Chains A and B, each alone.
Chain A
């Protein structure tokens, strides 16, 4: 940080006197160009979503040509909802996401506490082994994971989809970093008050780490809501399929492609997360940020 500052100070030269008016005009054009560029890109980035919204809310005859006065309709959503067992998919995804999050929070909290506050032989090695998962995510190991799940007799169940993600290195790491910042004096005070080890964890560490938990939960939920490959592999019936897989099956089997209905289904599947994001933008961005910078 300090290096460039010193450099600039060392190289201070007398300021050339610029012609003010031309500089101002130049700055103005400059800003206009930047704004235009930023907005073009922004529109490009929003285009797919806007387009999906457009198509989903209009009769399919209007999917391919934009007409401002096209009639609005909810028919596509009704058709999509009726054409595939979306309520079931929603239920599956919700259970899946909740199961994973619960597992991650419990395992992550216990492991992070152990890594942060106890010394035991091989701790650093164990921690390094945990960190490996940050690089090599369960997504990549689908073949072997399938073998394990198959051996456990869990194929086509919700636990099968959740298990590989339960012990999250990322969660352990994040919580460990947070726990490490909590002063030991608080722990000692609690101990004097008669708290047991678990009591301390529950009464001191967990409440103080709330922002981290929130950030982690948001990232975890949005990740697993959107996860596709592993659920695709271990599920093969309506009873277990999550939304993403259900959507793919729906869009894939529907041969007489009606785009309006498919985009309606697409919006249905991404809707809850999207709405949550629009409502809690700041928290989302902050969470992703906090979770990303490890």
Chain B
């Protein structure tokens, strides 16, 4: 009897999930036809948000991964104050995005903010970092990289510790330089981690919008609007839930692409084991 309850339970659990993952899909299509999608194609803000999001993705994923790798290499080597460094790198991970956005907002404040004060030391003029369309997205990207790199670092660190030191020693005996040793020995061995981190970073690039609420509210003139933020605006500020659902579909399509890539990767990983 209990067994039966257990066999049925997951069906319910899955249904519970499906409540949250599937049904929003065909909703606009069912009730209003493809109108929302037609609007979407003609909506300049959507295209701005999509373009911003792609730039945001490209500019957060690669630097945060590269930084994470460098951090891990440093923290894995015998360096003075290693555990303190590890702490420094990882701390942003446990802070709420909304809270750190407040602090960064202050850094970016024109005239009084830390950046402008530093610029002032060199006699450079003040910049309205978040208020100008040219710099706002970059400013938001910096915060995201800062927040994420330490988190990815621990995966690299764990992976580096798995690499037998003999490999590096062997390469050293052959006269390989540090750079060669990293590039030819560590880097290829870190590849599975890189793929894993890459996928996480990609998902985050479409999911992390908390700081926008504090820092820019998608502005100026939608220069920092990302897809999920735009979905929020349409759905909960303009209360156009149907259109927001159509926008969600675009986001889902993007994520599904990532998901497919991941499943292919998992398949390969299984073969290796």
- Which A residues are within 8 Å of any B CB, using their own CB? 1, 4-5, 8-9, 11-13, 15-16, 30-31, 34-35, 37-39, 41-46, 48-49, 51-52, 55, 63-65, 107, 110-111, 113-115, 118, 120, 122-123, 126, 129-130, 132-133, 135-148, 164, 166-167, 169, 172, 196-198, 222, 225-226, 228-229, 232-233, 243-244, 247-248, 251-252, 259, 262-263, 266-267, 269-270, 273-274, 277-278, 281, 284-285, 288-289, 292-293
Stretch touching chain A among B42-50, B56-64, B103-111, B129-137:
B103-111
Nearest chain A CB to B211 CB, angstrom units: 9
Please tell me if the beta carbons of A130 and B150 are within 8 angstroms of each other in the complex.
Answer: no
A30, A111, A248: which contacts B10 (Cβ < 8 A)? A111
CA distance A114 to B13 in the complex (A): 11
Closest to B243 in A: A143
A232, A269, A288: which contacts B99 (Cβ < 8 A)? A269
Please tell me if the beta carbons of B114 and A229 are within 8 angstroms of each other in the complex.
Answer: no
Closest to A222 in B: B94
CA distance A135 to B77 in the complex (A): 34
Closest to A218 in B: B94
CA distance A233 to B215 in the complex (A): 18
CA distance A38 to B73 in the complex (A): 10
Contact with A along B1-12 (1 / 0, CB 8 A): 011001101110
Please tell me if the beta carbons of B106 and A8 are within 8 angstroms of each other in the complex.
Answer: no
B139 at the interface (CB under 8 A from A): no
Majority SS of interface residues in chain A?
A: helix
A-B contact count (CB 8 A): 266
Nearest chain A CB to B26 CB, angstrom units: 11
Majority SS of interface residues in chain B?
A: helix
A11, A136, A259: which contacts B255 (Cβ < 8 A)? A136
Most buried by A among B70, B164, B210, B241: B210
A-B residue pairs, 9 tightest by C-beta: A144-B24, A135-B259, A226-B96, A120-B7, A42-B88, A38-B74, A197-B2, A228-B210, A8-B170
Nearest chain A CB to B218 CB, angstrom units: 13
Interface residues of B in 56-93 (CB under 8 A from A): 67, 70-71, 74-75, 77, 79-81, 84-93
Please tell me if the beta carbons of B6 and A45 are within 8 angstroms of each other in the complex.
Answer: no
Nearest chain A CB to B202 CB, angstrom units: 10
Please tell me if the beta carbons of A266 and B102 are within 8 angstroms of each other in the complex.
Answer: yes
Residues of B within 8 A of A263 (CB): 102-103, 106
A42, A107, A140: which contacts B89 (Cβ < 8 A)? A42
B16 at the interface (CB under 8 A from A): yes
Asked if A143 meets B17 with Cβ closer than 8 Å, knowing A45-B150, A248-B98, the reply is no
Residues of B within 8 A of A140 (CB): 206-207, 228, 248, 251-252, 255
Nearest chain B CB to A7 CB, angstrom units: 9
Residues of A within 8 A of B6 (CB): 110, 113-114, 118, 197
Asked if A30 meets B89 with Cβ closer than 8 Å, knowing A114-B9, A143-B248, A167-B13, the reply is no
Nearest chain B CB to A241 CB, angstrom units: 12
Residues of A within 8 A of B213 (CB): 228-229, 232, 248
B97 at the interface (CB under 8 A from A): yes
Residues of B within 8 A of A228 (CB): 96-98, 210, 213
CA distance A147 to B84 in the complex (A): 46
Residues of A within 8 A of B265 (CB): none
B175 at the interface (CB under 8 A from A): yes
Residues of B within 8 A of A8 (CB): 167, 170-171, 174, 185
Please tell me if the beta carbons of A143 and B245 are within 8 angstroms of each other in the complex.
Answer: yes
Nearest chain A CB to B115 CB, angstrom units: 11
Please tell me if the beta carbons of A129 and B232 are within 8 angstroms of each other in the complex.
Answer: no
Nearest chain A CB to B15 CB, angstrom units: 9
Please tell me if the beta carbons of A277 and B94 are within 8 angstroms of each other in the complex.
Answer: yes
Residues of A within 8 A of B241 (CB): 143, 146-147
Closest to A265 in B: B102
Residues of B within 8 A of A37 (CB): 74
